[in-house]
Amino acid sequence: MAAARSVAAGVTDPELPMLTLADLGVLRGVEVVDDSHVVVEITPTYSGCPAMAAMRDDLVRALTGAGFEQVEVRISLHPAWTTDWITPAGRVALAAAGISPPGPAPSADGPIPLTLLPTARQVRCPQCDSPATELVSEFGSTACKAQYRCTSCLEPFDHVKEI
């Protein structure tokens, strides 16, 4: 059981290869049915996340390599993924790779208020640690990231946006 869990937890995200699926919080469960059969549950970050097929294939490959003949990958949709599930180790790995980790996610219950002004976040530059940063766009290179720039070192960088 522990072996299957650690093999699955060690698989990395195809688009954020510095993060494991466990660090990203998309690995929702690993259940060993018997010596040859394991069931893994993953959840998409965004509805259109194109990396799900690659995640599934990587999990199947890793667990098959660890001796499981039957690897079932199930999708979990509820509760919806939130950036709050990114582990402390995952946040450190993101920052080390030059990606600003997310702050606390807003509550997703009740009516969602309209926000006409740019989202106010305390984002520090992952390159030079300056707090002088500005939002370029709420949409970035993948669905889960916003684009920022640092007005101190002038480097652009990605910020994992809170959902």
Partner 1 sequence: MNSRTERPAEDEHDSAYSGLLVNDAHWAFGAAPVPEGHGEDPLAGLDTTVPAGVDAPTLATYALMLGDDALVMSHRIAEWTSNAPDLEDDIALSNIALDLLGQARLLLARAARADASVVPVLPEGSPAPPEDALAYFREAHELRNVRLAEVVNGDFAEATVRILLFSVWRLATWERLRSSADHVLAAVAAKGVKELAYHRDYAARWFVTLAQGTPESRRRLLAALDALWPLWPELFDTHPVEAAAAESGVGVDPAAVRDAAEAVLDQVLDAADVPRPSAPRRAGVLGRTGRDGMHGEALGRMLAEMQSVARAHPRGVW
Q: Backbone phi, then psi, for 162, in 5-degree steps?
A: -75, 125
* Footprint of partner 1 on 11-30 (CB under 8 A): 12, 14, 17-18
Q: How near is the Cβ of 2 to partner 1 at its closest, in Å? A: 22
Q: Is 20 exposed, middle or buried (0-12, 13-18, 19+ CB in 10 A)?
A: buried
Torsion sign across C-alpha atoms 149, 153, 154, 155: negative
> Residue 138, interface with partner 1 (CB under 8 A)?
yes
- Using the rule CB under 8 A, give the single segment among 1-9, 37-45, 85-93 that binds partner 1: 37-45
Shortest Å, Cβ 46 to partner 1: 6
Q: Which of 79, 84, 92, 130 binds partner 1 (CB under 8 A)?
A: 79
Selected from 9, 66, 95, 136, the binder of partner 1 by CB under 8 A is: 136
- Contacts of residue 57, defined as CB under 8 A and 6 or more positions apart, other chains included, come to none
- Computed on alpha carbons and rounded to an integer, the radius of gyration of the chain in Å comes to 18
> Of 118, 130, 131, 151, which one interacts with partner 1 (CB under 8 A)?
118
CB closer to partner 1 out of 41 and 103: 41
Structure tokens at 19: 């993060």
Q: Residue 31 forms beta bridges with which residues?
A: 39
Q: How far is the CB of 147 from partner 1 (least distance, A)?
A: 7
